[in-house]
A and B are shown apart, each in its own frame.
Chain A
Amino acid sequence: MPSPTRVIHKRIYEVVPRDLERAGTVSTEVRRELLALGMSPDIVRRASIICFEGEMNMVLYSAGGRIILLVRDDRVELLFSDRGPGIADIDLASQPGYSTAPDWARELGFGAGLGISNMEQNSDLFKIRSRVGEGTVVRATVLLGIPFF
């Protein structure tokens, strides 16, 4: 395993379930943090989209949880962890178009079933683990430049 790179910046955000007034505010905050750190527009954009999709999933479906922003020398990491209910079949839930969204979420323009795949497509490294009855953890990484040289 490569040695972990230095953490430059760390923020922890609480996500309140079903709080539609505030849904999306963690992501706009993360975006502002990354811009203030002088990250490139492409990195900011991808990380913001990942964060927004993850945050909306937590607001819409989870019992709440938190998002951790970790900026390292060579990467931006977003860690999502919630307190349940967990995802029984992650492969199915990641399929574009698969959704268990209630009508009220669809009426807001969300819940089209594109969230997890969109998070994955904007990440360089993406890991999701879940246990039904316990919760879901996601680690999404955006690499800054090419790390292999």
Chain B
Amino acid sequence: MKLASLLAQKKPQIVDRWIKLLYDSYPPQAAVFLKKEKDKFDNPVGYSIARGLDKIFTALVQEMETEQLLAALDEVVRIRALQDIPPSQALAFLFLLKNIVREELAEEFEKRNLAGELMELDSRIDGLVLLGFDAYTKRREKLCEIRINEVKNRVSGLLRKSGLSINSI
């Protein structure tokens, strides 16, 4: 696949642009901070987004297994699933990749006949979004699960005293 090698070559530019776009979707003051602070512990959201998008792109281009794609998606989705946003907004960043690829590889698309491969890539990004739904739902379910577990944990010593396992209720 010719496109695959082009994507691999252009990876730094594409991923960088993708990261910046996602940062820009935050309130202006937060976007400035996300871009500026490079320490991964002082800027955990910025760092995780950057690391996650890089992993997602790599997994997509290298045609990795679904499990690996899901793990890469989870890096970003578990943050987006918390941040005051409906699922449509939480996952919209995945579609941005289509435009970024088109813009970054505009010249190559003109020079070479890549229409078929581009269609194939679009279709894979669509698949990525569908997996994104899985990752998002899993995270929302996890939130419900930890809420329930915490309620149980508050009396876990008492349950143990009564001979009950926390998992049996």
- Tell whether A and B belong to one assembly: no
Interface residues, chain B, CB within 8 Å of chain A?
none
